[in-house]
Structure 1
Amino acid sequence: MDNGNNIKRDNALRWAMSFIKPEVKPLVFVMILAAFMTGFALAQPYFTKMLIDDGLMAGNMDMVIRFAVLIVVMSVVVFFVSGFNRWLYVGLSGRILFTLRQDVYNHLMKLSPQFYGHWRTGDIVSRLDGDVAEVQRFSTDSLLAVVNGSLALVGSLAIMLSLSWQLTLIAFALLPLQVIFLRRMRPLVERSSLRLREQSAHVSSFFIETLPSVKFIQAQSAADHEQARLNRLNHSYLDDLLKLQIISHVTGGIPGLLTSIATACVFIIGGYFVTSGTATIGTLIAFSAYMARATGPVQTFLGLYVAYQRAMVSLVRVRALKDQEIAVTDPIEPILLGPRVTGDIKLEGVRFFYEPGRGVRDISLHIPAGQKILITGPSGSGKSTLINLLHRHYDPEKGGIFLDGVAYPHLSLKELRRIIAVVDQDTILFNGSVRDNIAYGMKEATLEQVTAAARAARIDDFIQKLPQGYDTPVGERGAQLSGGQRQRLSIARALLMKPRVLILDEATSAVDAETEAEFQQMLDKYFTDCTRIIISHHVGAIRNLDRVFSMTEGRLTENTA
Structure 2
Amino acid sequence: MTGSAGKFSPQPGRPAVARAWPHLPARAGAALFTPAAAGWLLPLLRPHRRRLALLLLISFLAAGLGLLPPYISKLVIDRGLIAGDAAQLVVWSLALFAVGLLATGTGALSSILHMRASVRMLARLRRRLLSRLAAKPAGWFAAQRAGELLSRIDGDAAEVQKFAFNAVLGGSSALIRLIGGSAMLMVLDWRLGLLTALLAPVELAFLAWARPRTERHAAAVREMQGRYAAGLSETLFGLPALQAARGTLWAERRSLRDHDSLSRKLIAQNLWREFTRAVPVLLSALTRSAIFLAGGLMVIRGEWPLGSLIAFIAYMGFMTGPMQSLLGLWHAQARVKVAAARLNAVMQADAPARTAAFSPSGYALRLDGVTVSRGAAPPLGPLSLTIPEGTRVALRGASGAGKTSLLAVLCGRAQPLAGRASLGGADLALLDGAALPPRVAFAGQRPFTLRASLRDNLFQSRAFWADPDNEAEVWALLELFGLADRFRSAGGLATLLGESGLTLSGGERQRLCLLRALLAPFDILILDEALSEVDPAAAARILAYIDARFPHATRILTAHGGAAAGGEFGMEINLTEAVA
TM-score (norm 2): 0.88
The whole-number CA distance in structure 1 between the counterparts of 2:384 and 2:229 is: 44
Amino acid at match of 2:287: A
Q: Which moved more, 1:392-401 or 1:258-267?
A: 392-401
How many residue pairs end up in the alignment? Answer: 547
The one-character-per-residue Cα deviations of 1:69-119 (angstroms, maximum 9, x if unpaired) are 111111111111111111112222333333222222211111100100112
- Deviation of residue 449 (structure 1)? 1.9
Name 1:58's counterpart in structure 2. 83
Does the C-alpha gap of structure 1 residues 450 and 351 become closer, same or farther in structure 2, counting only changes over 3 Å?
Answer: farther
Q: Secondary structure at the match of 1:274?
A: helix
1:300 equivalent in alignment to 2:325: yes
The one-character-per-residue Cα deviations of 1:172-227 (angstroms, maximum 9, x if unpaired) are 32332211110011110001001101111011101221112111111122222111
Name 2:519's counterpart in structure 1. 496
Name 2:498's counterpart in structure 1. 475
1:374 equivalent in alignment to 2:374: no
User: Which runs of 5 or more structure 2 residues have no equivalent in the other structure?
Assistant: 1-29
Q: 2:408 aligns with which of 370, 373, 388?
A: 388
- Deviation of residue 529 (structure 1)? 2.4
Q: Is the 8 A contact 1:459 1:489 kept in 2?
A: no
Amino acid at match of 1:371: T
Q: 2:476 aligns with which of 455, 459, 463?
A: 455
- Deviation of residue 375 (structure 1)? 1.6
The whole-number CA distance in structure 2 between the counterparts of 1:114 and 1:442 is: 33
Q: How does 1:123-522 map to 2 (within 5 A)?
A: 123-326=148-351, 332-335=356-359, 337=361, 341=362, 343-353=363-373, 355=375, 357-409=377-429, 417-440=437-460, 444=464, 446-456=467-477, 457-459=480-482, 461-522=484-545
Q: Is the 8 A contact 2:413 2:432 kept in 1?
A: no
Does the C-alpha gap of structure 1 residues 534 and 354 become closer, same or farther in structure 2, counting only changes over 3 Å?
Answer: closer
Q: Is the 8 A contact 2:393 2:556 kept in 1?
A: yes
Q: Secondary structure at the match of 1:418?
A: coil
The whole-number CA distance in structure 1 between the counterparts of 2:486 and 2:114 is: 49
Amino acid at match of 1:398: A
Amino acid at match of 1:434: L
Name 1:114's counterpart in structure 2. 139
Amino acid at match of 2:252: Q
Q: Secondary structure at the match of 2:464?
A: coil
- Deviation of residue 415 (structure 1)? 9.8
Q: Which moved more, 1:32-41 or 1:227-236?
A: 32-41
- Deviation of residue 281 (structure 1)? 0.6
Q: Secondary structure at the match of 2:385?
A: strand
- Deviation of residue 491 (structure 1)? 2.1
Does the C-alpha gap of structure 1 residues 142 and 407 become closer, same or farther in structure 2, counting only changes over 3 Å?
Answer: closer
Q: Which moved more, 1:372-381 or 1:97-106?
A: 97-106
Q: Is the 8 A contact 1:111 1:326 kept in 2?
A: no
The whole-number CA distance in structure 2 between the counterparts of 1:479 and 1:75 is: 59
Does the C-alpha gap of structure 1 residues 521 and 442 become closer, same or farther in structure 2, counting only changes over 3 Å?
Answer: farther
Q: Is the 8 A contact 1:160 1:168 kept in 2?
A: yes
- Deviation of residue 228 (structure 1)? 0.9
The whole-number CA distance in structure 1 between the counterparts of 2:426 and 2:337 is: 46
Does the C-alpha gap of structure 1 residues 250 and 511 become closer, same or farther in structure 2, counting only changes over 3 Å?
Answer: same
TM-score (norm 1): 0.91
- Deviation of residue 321 (structure 1)? 1.1
Does the C-alpha gap of structure 1 residues 476 and 30 become closer, same or farther in structure 2, counting only changes over 3 Å?
Answer: same
Q: Secondary structure at the match of 2:52?
A: helix
Q: Secondary structure at the match of 2:67?
A: helix
Cα RMSD between the aligned structures? 2.6
Amino acid at match of 1:507: A
- Deviation of residue 322 (structure 1)? 1.2
- Deviation of residue 434 (structure 1)? 1.4
- Deviation of residue 539 (structure 1)? 5.6
Does the C-alpha gap of structure 1 residues 405 and 293 become closer, same or farther in structure 2, counting only changes over 3 Å?
Answer: closer
Q: Is the 8 A contact 1:49 1:283 kept in 2?
A: yes
Does the C-alpha gap of structure 1 residues 447 and 130 become closer, same or farther in structure 2, counting only changes over 3 Å?
Answer: farther
- Deviation of residue 247 (structure 1)? 0.9
The whole-number CA distance in structure 1 between the counterparts of 2:63 and 2:148 is: 42
Amino acid at match of 1:531: T
The whole-number CA distance in structure 1 between the counterparts of 2:459 and 2:179 is: 61
The whole-number CA distance in structure 1 between the counterparts of 2:468 and 2:511 is: 17
The whole-number CA distance in structure 2 between the counterparts of 1:225 and 1:90 is: 43
The whole-number CA distance in structure 1 between the counterparts of 2:145 and 2:432 is: 30
- Deviation of residue 356 (structure 1)? 6.1
- Deviation of residue 316 (structure 1)? 1.7
- Deviation of residue 509 (structure 1)? 1.0
Q: Is the 8 A contact 1:330 1:413 kept in 2?
A: no
- Deviation of residue 355 (structure 1)? 4.6
Q: Is the 8 A contact 1:463 1:470 kept in 2?
A: no
The whole-number CA distance in structure 2 between the counterparts of 1:371 and 1:203 is: 48
The whole-number CA distance in structure 1 between the counterparts of 2:84 and 2:31 is: 62
1:544 equivalent in alignment to 2:568: yes
The whole-number CA distance in structure 2 between the counterparts of 1:419 and 1:19 is: 32
Name 2:20's counterpart in structure 1. none
- Deviation of residue 258 (structure 1)? 0.8
Q: Is the 8 A contact 1:520 1:543 kept in 2?
A: no
Does the C-alpha gap of structure 1 residues 547 and 35 become closer, same or farther in structure 2, counting only changes over 3 Å?
Answer: closer
Q: Secondary structure at the match of 1:426?
A: coil
The whole-number CA distance in structure 2 between the counterparts of 1:152 and 1:344 is: 68
Q: Is the 8 A contact 1:167 1:266 kept in 2?
A: yes
User: Which runs of 5 or more structure 1 residues have no equivalent in the other structure?
Assistant: none
Q: Is the 8 A contact 2:483 2:508 kept in 1?
A: no
Amino acid at match of 1:118: A
The whole-number CA distance in structure 2 between the counterparts of 1:173 and 1:189 is: 25
